[in-house]
Structure 1
Amino acid sequence: MEGLKFVAVFVLLALASSLASAFDPSPLQDFCVAINETDGVFVNGKFCKDPKLVTEKDFFYSGLNIPQNTSNPVGSTVTPVNVAQIPGLNTLGISLARIDYAPYGGLNPPHTHPRGTEILVVLEGTLYVGFVTSNPENRLFTKVLNTGDVFVFPIGLIHFQFNVGKTNAVAFSGLSSQNPGVITIANAVFGSEPPINPDVLAKAFQLDKNVVSYLQKQFWWDNN
């Protein structure tokens, strides 16, 4: 019996360890500024710059005050600030984004962040936001946000923001990963390369195969 308890505890510890390492790990040094070269210490997908060569520029980004062009098919533009823009974010487990929305109808389409929870604050305008829980409930949580309001989108869940105001809208979001990733649902399903077999999508969405083929021929805009 004691042997079984030991095995059970060992399995639980192993599972906990694997789950903990599924997201950004806690750093074991002050910083690990990312570099593209391969002659450094490899940490979490990036190599570390020699600490003696690190400067303040490695932790700096400028330009989030600049409004972005939203005259595109979805009416929004996301300006990410993750480890690709600030090398010093490597191993720190956070990132940021600015989102600009065109007047009424500007949409950040349904998408997920596979590696990060998102917290969003509205700086200007009025947004209708929401997320959907996982199967089998598929419960929709929505809220209309005004300037100064904050909303959280749990990690991995499909969510969206839609400008319901008559003016431009701006929001900032913080994410719990140096590189949270983004999967825009329509783009992934109907715009994959190579395309998903139309028979699969026709059955999955209960659509006529011709409708699926039509959707796969459309241009799916990437607003990131």
Structure 2
Amino acid sequence: MMMKGAHFPTAAAFALLALATFHLVSASDPSPLQDFCVALNTTQTAVSAVFVNGKFCRDPKLATADDFFFSGLRIPGNTSNPLGSKVTPANVEQIAGLNTLGISLARVDYAPNGGLNPPHTHPRATEVLTVMEGTLYVGFVTSDNRLFTKVLYKGDVFVFPVGLIHFQFNIGKVQAVAFAALSSQNPGVITIANAVFGSNPPINLDVLTKAFQVDNNVVQYLQKQFWYDNN
């Protein structure tokens, strides 16, 4: 028996309710649903034929302490190269236990008097740089071409926002060392000069001469150089 004054939802109301419910349940989880997801490196055809945005997970019962350990950052990087710098990463490729945790580290060593970590970007991460030894001139460029720079000393911290071109340059007379924390398990790195003039195959000559407003010979010279990768 229908109660006087009662109101029952119409078909349209049910549809709206269903749509709202679907929207809520289809949203991604704000945090992991398990303690960890140790990356699984496998050569099995069935698995390797599938590409995922990240890494597959190993059975957590098979995880060990070594999955969360990396000793490489204690070792100074070899700066005897054209750039005078060396980046030692500690991301999911080195630490399987970082998978799904959204963070990684790197050590950067700089040779005295001009060691350079050249202009580059991390397409998937913001970077927080802490100077451990030495003096660095650092900076980044915004999307409207504003340059933010600072001279950093031991203990100083500087932030490079995600995706923006940035650099570090050793202006001191001694070796410099910095540690970087990045907001991705696999931040990626695109070094500007390498990407523009060292791509494979090369970018069309007409594109580069017009983009940089220089003679063909200048671009050809730059494309013939050996672009060293310090990563």
The two structures share one fold, judged by TM-score above 0.5:
yes
Unaligned runs of 5+ in 1: 1-5
Q: Is it true that 1:138 corresponds to 2:145 in the alignment?
A: yes
Structure exhibiting the larger radius of gyration computed from Cα positions: 2
Please list every run of at least 4 consecutive aligned residues from structure 1 whose deviation after the TM superposition is greater than 2 angstroms: 25-28, 38-45
Aligned-residue offset at 1:197:
0.5
Aligned-residue offset at 1:43:
6.3
The 5-angstrom pairing of residues 119-138 of structure 1 reads: 119-134=128-143, 137-138=144-145
Q: Is it true that 1:220 corresponds to 2:227 in the alignment?
A: yes
Name the CA distance, whole Å, in 2 between partners of 1:202 and 1:26: 47
Residue in structure 2 matching 1:100, options 104, 109, 112: 109
Unaligned runs of 5+ in 2: 1-15
2:184 maps to what in 1? 177
Name the CA distance, whole Å, in 2 between partners of 1:51 and 1:44: 20
Aligned-residue offset at 1:30:
1.1
Q: Is it true that 1:192 corresponds to 2:199 in the alignment?
A: yes
RMSD of equivalent CA atoms: 2.4
Deviations 1:111-169 (A, max 9, x none): 000000000000000000000000xx200000000000000000000000000000000
Name the CA distance, whole Å, in 2 between partners of 1:206 and 1:87: 46
The 5-angstrom pairing of residues 2-81 of structure 1 reads: 26-37=31-42, 44-81=53-90
54-63 or 155-164, which moves further after superposition?
54-63
1:145 aligned partner, one-letter code: L
- How many pairs align? 207
1:208 aligned partner, one-letter code: D
Aligned-residue offset at 1:44:
3.4
- Provide TM-score, normalisation by structure 2: 0.84
The alignment-based identity, stated in percent, is 78
Residue in structure 1 matching 2:125, options 95, 101, 116: 116
Indicate if the aligned counterparts of 2:68 and 2:96 stay in contact, CA closer than 8 A: yes
Aligned-residue offset at 1:45:
2.3
